[in-house]
Structure formats: C-alpha cells, structure tokens
Structure 1
Amino acid sequence: STLVLFVIGVAVLKSQYPLLWLLPVIGYGFAWVGHFFFEKNRPATFKHPFYSLWADWVMFKDMLIGKIKW
C-alpha cells in the first residue's frame, strides 16, 4: 500500500501517468505471491475484488495508527 501511494505520487508530480497502469500489479502482486507460494491458498481478490481492496486499505490504516503491529 505504501508503494502504491508512492507510485501515485511520482506519477502525478512528474506527470508520468502511464505509471498508473502498474498499480494493480503493485497492489495485488505481492499479496498474490504470498497467497499462492507461502500460504498455499487462493486470494479473496478473485471472488471479491472490491471488498479485498477495501480490506487492504483498512488494514493499512490500522497499521499506521498502531492497531495492528508491524
């Protein structure tokens, strides 16, 4: 999520809008690798993409405020 925000910032500040096409890969790529190769399960993104996206940002917020430990 931090990397997604960074890429958005760079794309907007430097007017490099094609970088925004990378956001789905950056946002979901790491999670999919973790699910497939480490947890050996299927990510919720395939059945519930918007719920999955929302949950990622809620968890990111909870990490930032200290509700979830890093």
Structure 2
Amino acid sequence: MSKPYTSFAEFYPFYLSQHADRTCRRLHVVGSAVVLALLATALVQGGWWWASLPMAGYGFAWVGHFFFEHNKPATFTYPLYSLMGDWVMFWQVLTRKIPF
C-alpha cells in the first residue's frame, strides 16, 4: 500500500481488491454477523459482551487475510476506512451486489 488514500470513495476499490478470495469475504461476513449478534446480546442482557466485539470481528477477518487472501489487512494502515469498508462490503454481500 504505497498510495495514501484521502477519501473512502478512493479507498474502497482498493479494499475490495484485498478481498478477492471468496473464503476471505465469507469470513468477513461471518465476523460482522457475529459482531451484530454480540452487540444485540449486550444490548438485551447488559454486561461485558461489548468487550469481545473487536476480537470477534477482526478474528474472522484476519484468518481470511492470513490463510486465504495471503495479504496484510488494510486495518493496520487505514483503520477507519477499513472498518467502514467491512460494513459496506457486508451490506453489499447481503444485497447481492458482491458474490458470497
């Protein structure tokens, strides 16, 4: 990643290129769904569930990058854009704009 991205619109095509492997995308979607489930549990039951959100989401995503995509997660260089990309890609998979 040599180019500094100055907007999410500029970053997102790069983000998608880093998720070309179908298994990597699927792991991201599963991680995002787990985050939503944990968040719902935390809101309903209260307690400490919120603390596991980052580990749940990033755990699945990083397995996808390290073992299937074989690249470095964009989170390390562009944390905010990468987080935004996770949710945009999640939505695009759910709405079938990106293959699952």
TM-score, normalization by structure 2: 0.64
Tell me by how many angstroms 1:19 deviates.
1.1
Task: Tell me the residue number matched to 2:90.
Answer: 60
Match of 2:61 in 1: 31
Match of 2:39 in 1: 8
State the TM-score, normalized to the length of structure 1: 0.88
Q: Distance in 1 between matches of 2:63 and 2:75?
A: 13
Please state whether the residue corresponding to 1:36 is helix, strand or coil.
helix
RMSD: 1.1
Aligned residue-pair number: 69
Any stretches of 5+ residues in structure 1 without a counterpart? none
Moved over 3 A (4+): none
Q: What is the alpha-carbon distance in structure 1 between the residues aligned to residue 80 and residue 57 of structure 2?
A: 13
Which structure 2 residue ranges, 5 or more long, are not aligned? 1-31
